[in-house]
Structures are given as structure tokens and as C-alpha cells.
Amino acid sequence: MTPRCSISLRLLPAPATVAVLSACGGGGTPDSPFIRRLQLGGEDLHGLVAVRYTIAAKPGASSKPVSVRYTAAALERRGDLSADRRTLSLPVFGLYAGRLNHVSVELQFEAAPARTVPVDLATNPYVDGSGIYDRPTILQRRAAGTPLGFEYLYVKSGLGSPIVIDTDGEVRWVGAGVASGFSSAFRDNGFFVGDPKSPKLTRLELDGSSSEASLASATYTGFHHNIDPGKEGLLVEVDAASDGVASLESIVAEVSGAGAVLGEWDFAAILGAYMAGEGDDPSAFVRPGVDWFHMNSAIYDARDDSLIVSSRENFVIKVDYQTRDIVWILGDPTKHWYGFPSLRAKALTLEQGGLYPIGQHALSITSDGQLLLFNDGLASRNQPAEAPAGENRTYSAVSAYAIDPEALTAREVWRFDHDQTILSSICSSAYEAAEGSLLVNYAVADDWTKARLVGLDAAHEVVFDFEYPTHVCDTSWNAAPIPFDDLRFE
């Protein structure tokens, strides 16, 4: 079926460029102002190698234009380029809503000069039903020409799909068909989104289409918190139930996009077996049926074939990918966990002056090999009665650590704490982009009433600062850069 409200074009022999066969105002996803589909046809498509479209930045914008390149092979695999190379259905996404978009489509050929097709696409305004994303408060606008290692970002919304925003604060893409984007990741030029109430994994394509898979497990009951790249597939954090006992936020699995389970790390089992083997009673720490661990981030470290996992209630822990053996633990030594000799034996000693990770979120490895995380600063909330919950801070920070696993030491190499003016005690994130830039997401600033998206340059100076109302973490539980300025479908 032809997408609703597409635009059809016919290539003409040079020097003429294009003839418009028909046009209307929509496409891709019904009622989406951010997506159109251009239908191109003509003999000139023979020998096509690649297509690149560029959406001109609006007047006064600081973000670089959206630029997307498809190889002909990628278009054929997607079913967008006919096998006889006579017709092309080109998805164009990232459009400005409520504007006349000036789009340049460059057709690259194997044995002929490239041809450029200029197209003007008018879009309807975007009206956010939640009354949030279409009306940011710009606390600091990005100045034109200001260097920054990213131009676009996506927020993981609890109100629907992930939402793509440019560094001017303009919404440039919204998906459909999912109730929450909390558990989501952008990978292979699309979004994977986990259902919090079932083992369903949805793939949202940028052209507005979608597909679904179910995790091949009889025990998984739903997704929570992050999805991150694994060794081969996706690392997903899942709840499970077996024999009437719930495993709450203590399991990470590696899965394929089709739902196959490639591996599982059950930290109740991992820590329980280790502690018992070292002479500790794990029942005082590992408490099935209770949110004793509260996993919120898990990443694969290819440097030593390991997983690094954030337990909000306790610490950051590294385990061997294959053996599940504990490599090290980094966390506040005034918490309950440090009272167990077996766990204390794996603890990293932090150099004086550093901030231990407390209530941390959003683990990642920086380009120079440091462990980066959002250091929330909130003590444990679900320890046994009378057990120490650890330190509470009055501000949140972004912390980067250099770790020596042989010496069992850690050093906080740098931190960004916004002059200790913002406390975002739960949720939140910080991710590195190109050239050392950072995107910091304060999910619950201002007493849990505001979400803040802050872009930092390589010197950690604020480049932009956007504010939105929020209810708990709903607006932007987590946010990450996305390369809409140079996206490639190979």
C-alpha cells in the first residue's frame, strides 16, 4: 500500500531534474509531521549506488542539518528500491514540524555524475499530547557555531516512544505503538523498546514502521531500566518469576533482536554462591522477592570480556563474562554490603578526594577507557531493617574513574557537578559524545518536578540547557546522543 500522503517524483533526462507527479502532506507514520516518503522513478535510477538526503537547518538554528545516506543495497534490503531499479520509495525522517522543509536529495551513480533533487516538504505542527516536549524552557540556548560533539539526542520517555530532539530544543522524531520508552536503545539505525509488563521487544524503525519479538524465556515477566549493547546482542534488564518467587531487578540477559536468549547473569545466584563459598551467609544480603539489588545499567567491556553492572542499592560490580566470577566492586563502604568480608575482599579502594558512586545510573566506557556514570548521591532505600544505607549527598555529579583491577584501586579522574547546584537523586544519565562532549540528563531536578537536558563541550562548559516539567522520571529517565546529522544505512 502506498504510504498515506506521500510525494511522487519522476526523474527526467539531464539537464532537467525532476517532475512532481503528485503530492500531499504526510507519509511514513500516519499523522507524523516528522516523516515523509518520496516516490522516485525513471530510467535514471539504473546504476544507482547511494542516496543522501539533507534537511536544511531552519533560520537561526545552531544544530547541523539532518543528513541520512542509504546505499542502494540497503534500500533494496528494506524493499524501498525495486529490483529492476525503476522505482525508489525514499523514507525522509527528521523533518521540522509546522514548517516548509527544504530537502536536498542527492542520487549517486556508479558511472554517471551525481544528481541533486531539491524538494520542499510542508509539515503540520507537532502537538505533544502530554504538553511537555513541544514547549521546552530554554535556560541556555546553544549559540551559533559553538563546538559540540553531538547535534541530536533522544530521551527515553515514560509517556510513549523515545523522542529525538536537536540541540536547539526542537522535536525532530517521535515514534508510535509503545506505551513507554524507558527500556530502549538506539542500535542498527532503529530503536529497540522493551515492554515493562511482558517479555515483548519492539523494534521501531525511523520510517515509522515497527516489528515485534518475544524473549524466548518461560520466566521473564518484563523489562526494566536500560537496554545496552552486549557482546553479540543486546543486554536487557528483566524481571522474572519461578516457582512462585519473583526475581526483582537482579537479572541481566543478552538477547538477539529476534528474542533469542544468548546468556543470562542472575546476580542473586552469582553473589549467593560466591558469598557462601567464602564463608558468609548470603541470606542476610541476597533476598529473593525483594528489590535488594535494583539493577539499572549493565554494559559489556570488550577489553577484558566482562560485564559491568550498576546495583543502585549497593555498588558497581564487574564480573567475568564467561565464568561469572567477580572481578571488583566499587561502592560506598558505609553501606550494608561492606560488612560482609567476602564482598569487602573484592572492593576497590578509592583515592582520597574522590566521590564513591552512590545511587548511580548510566554506566559507560569513555573513549579513553574510563568508567563513566551519573553519580546520583542518594543512599540505599531498600536495605534490611537497621542496616546502614550509606551516605546522602545534596547534589549530583558525573564521575569518571580510572580503575586498576590488579591493585584493586580506583581514582576519580574528573567530575562535573554543576557547581553542586542540582540534585537529581534517582534515574538520570550522562553519556560521552565525540571530542569529549557530554550529554547530561537530570531526570528529577528541582525536587522531582523538572527534567534538565544539559550539553557540555570538551571543557565541560555548558553549551545548552533545556528544562521540562516531569512527574518523577516520566519525561526523560535517561537520554543519549544520536547521529541524525550523519546517519548511514549500509
Structure confidence by residue, pLDDT tens digits, 149-189: 999 999 999 999 999 999 999 999 999 999 999 999 999 99
Instruction: Say if residue 24's pLDDT is above 80.
Output: no
Q: What are phi and psi of 478, to 5 degrees?
A: -160, 150
Q: What is the pLDDT of residues 379-438, one digit of tens each?
A: 999 999 999 999 999 999 999 999 999 999 999 999 999 999 999 999 999 999 999 999
- Segments of 196-338 assigned E as strands: 200-205, 210-214, 220-229, 234-242, 245-255, 261-266, 295-301, 306-311, 315-320, 326-330
Compute the average pLDDT of residues 474-480: 98
The Cα 471–Cα 477 span in angstroms is 10
- Residue from 165, 95, 167, 33 nearest 475 by CA: 165
Mean pLDDT calculated for residue range 289-298:
97
User: Which residue from 378, 485, 371, 389 is spatially nearest to 430, judged by alpha carbons?
Assistant: 371
Between 24 and 231, the higher pLDDT residue:
231
- Distance separating alpha carbons of residues 208 and 176, to the nearest angstrom: 7
CB 338 within 8 A of CB 324: no
Q: Is residue 36 within 8 Å of 56, Cβ to Cβ?
A: no
Mean pLDDT (whole number) for 356-365 = 98
Q: Kindly tell me if the per-residue pLDDT of 25 is higher than 50.
A: no
pLDDT of residue 29: 46
Query: Over pLDDT 70: what percentage of the chain?
Result: 93
What are the structural domains, with CATH classification, of the chain?
Answer: 7-122 (2.60.40.3100), 137-489 (2.120.10.30)
pLDDT of 20 > 90? The answer is no
- Distance of alpha carbon 332 from alpha carbon 389, whole angstroms: 9
Going by pLDDT thresholds of 50, 70 and 90, the confidence category of residue 31 is: confident
Coil, strand, or helix at residue 385? Answer: coil
pLDDT for the residue numbered 66 = 98
Residue 214 has pLDDT above 90, yes or no: yes
**Closest CA relative to residue 270, chosen from 324, 338, 335, 330:** 324
The pLDDT-based confidence of 27 (bands split at 50, 70, 90) is: very low
The predicted structure's pLDDT at residue 4: 38
User: What pLDDT does residue 41 have?
Assistant: 79
Omega before 13 cis (within 30°)?
no
Under a CB-based contact definition with an 8 Å cutoff, are residues 468 and 136 in contact? yes
pLDDT of residue 7: 57
Instruction: Say if residue 79's pLDDT is above 70.
Output: yes
Matching residue, cell 530503536? 191
In three-state secondary structure terms, 102 is strand
d(CA 390, CA 334): 5
Cα separation of 483 and 56, whole Å?
A: 16
CB 429 within 8 A of CB 452: no
Q: How far is CA 135 from CA 89, 244, 375, 411, in A?
A: 33, 46, 28, 41
Residue 241 has pLDDT above 80, yes or no: yes
- The DSSP symbol for 362 reads E
Residue type at position 226: N
What pLDDT is recorded for position 485? 98
Neighbouring residues of 244: CB distance < 8 A, sequence distance ≥ 6: none
pLDDT digits (tens, 9 = 90+) for 318-359: 999 999 999 999 999 999 999 999 999 999 999 999 999 999
**How far is CA 4 from each of CA 7, 39, 175, 241, rounded to the nearest angstrom?**
10, 12, 16, 43
| Alpha-carbon distance values, 50 to 68, 106, 197, 315 (Å) | 11, 8, 41, 48
Model confidence at 84, in pLDDT bands (50, 70, 90)? confident
Question: Cα separations (Å) of 295 from 122, 363, 425?
Answer: 45, 11, 16
Q: Which residue has the cell 516518503?
A: 37
Length of the chain counted residue by residue: 490
**In 345-449, beta strands by DSSP E:** 349-350, 361-365, 371-375, 397-404, 409-416, 429-432, 438-444
- Taking every pair of C-alpha atoms in the chain, what is the biggest distance, in angstroms? 82
CA nearest 204: which of 225, 241, 179, 230? 179
Residue 296, pLDDT above cutoff 90 = yes
Cell numbers at 37, concatenated:
516518503
pLDDT at position 85 is: 86
pLDDT bucket at 15, cuts 50 / 70 / 90:
very low
Residues 249-273: pLDDT tens digits? 999 999 999 999 999 999 999 999 9
| Average pLDDT of the residues of the chain | 93
Residue 22 has pLDDT above 90, yes or no: no
Residue 221 CB burial class (10 angstroms; 0-12, 13-18, ≥19): middle
Task: Give Rg (Cα) of the chain.
Answer: 24
CA gap 16, 246 in Å, rounded? 67
pLDDT score of 361: 98
Q: Is the pLDDT of residue 16 over 70?
A: no
